[in-house]
Amino acid sequence: MKIALIIENSQAAKNALVHEALVAVAEPLGHEVFNYGMYSAEDSASLTYVMNGLLAGILLNSKAADFVVTGCGTGMGSMLACNAMPGVFCGLVIDPTDAFLFSQINDGNAISMPYSKGFGWAAELNLQDCYRKIFENEGGAGYPKERAHFMAANRSKLKDMKAASCRDMVSVLKGVDQDLLKAAIAGEHFADFFYPNCQDDDIAAYLRGL
């Protein structure tokens, strides 16, 4: 699985800590982590939580990433921005129980975490425990197990409802503020990570043309 990490400006100073925790869990399980930044508070390319959502939509809809880990001060803003995108199903994860239940019941493709609120002593251990609950188990297995069939049916209906209520990603890219879009993909390593992994020629062509 290709996992993308995205952190916005207010929490950029924590990038190294979050990235280290994610890599420590994901890579031994055979996953690959791509750190899209921000890498520090001094980065010239600054991401807001709105841009987090837009970037998550680009990465997931193009299949440049299979899963997005993002967040902001409370995790709320990034979650809302992600869920505004077609094909993105993002849960707010604060503790390992959230992570396990989101994985088993909702089987989404993104999580948003609070990197300020409640981010205290040994926060990196909580991060690792959350990531472990997401990535060490097969998603969508159901909890409790006897309700797995009903949960799968609800996920299917939610995907259909989202598809009916959202435009395709290229239309989204054309319709959003173009300066906002340019800023969202201005990260130092965006081109290095995105274009070699992108599987949607239309999305790649539009972004290259900006």
Cβ proximity of 202 and 168 under 8 Å: no
Task: Give residue-wise pLDDT tens across range 129-180.
Answer: 999 999 998 999 999 989 999 999 999 999 999 999 999 999 999 999 999 9
Q: How far is Cα of residue 179 from the mean position of the Cα atoms in its chain?
A: 21
All structural domains of the chain: 2-208 (3.40.1400.10)
State how beta strands 110-114 and 67-72 pair: parallel
Task: Give residue-wise pLDDT tens across range 91-126.
Answer: 999 999 999 999 999 999 999 999 999 999 999 999
- Three-class SS of residue 203? helix
Secondary element (H or E) of residue 59: helix 49-61
pTM: 0.96
Q: Cα–Cα distance between 114 and 71 in angstroms, integer?
A: 6
Q: Which residues contact 39 (CB under 8 A, 6 or more apart)?
A: 12, 15, 16, 188
